[in-house]
Amino acid sequence: AGLRFDMRYMNFRVRACNKAVAGDFSEPVTLETRAFTFRLDASTCHQNLRVEELSVEWDATGGKVQEVKARDKDGKGRTASPANSPAR
């Protein structure tokens, strides 16, 4: 607690030691609270999220097209998607 955004706090390095010998030090590492870029991935997000470059929108009907196999009365297979379903 008490850390501030986008600040560097300390540099440190480590090395392994046992009773016989100590190893080499690691490269120095800085402990900091860095800024980051947050992005949503349209290919892996929830099916009801519609993700565009600078916006996200919830689509309760399912923003992504999902193919569902169904059988016609005569037993032949057909492909249905939410875009073509009667519920829309």
Q: Among all chains, which residue has been given the structure tokens 């190893």?
A: 23
Question: Where along the chain do its domains lie?
Answer: 9-58
Q: Among all chains, which residue has been given the structure tokens 């689509």?
A: 59
Full pLDDT tens readout for the chain, 88 residues: 677 888 888 999 999 999 999 999 999 999 888 877 777 788 888 888 888 877 888 888 765 554 445 555 555 555 444 554 444 4
- Interstrand relation of 7-12 and 29-33 (parallel, antiparallel or unpaired): antiparallel
pTM: 0.32
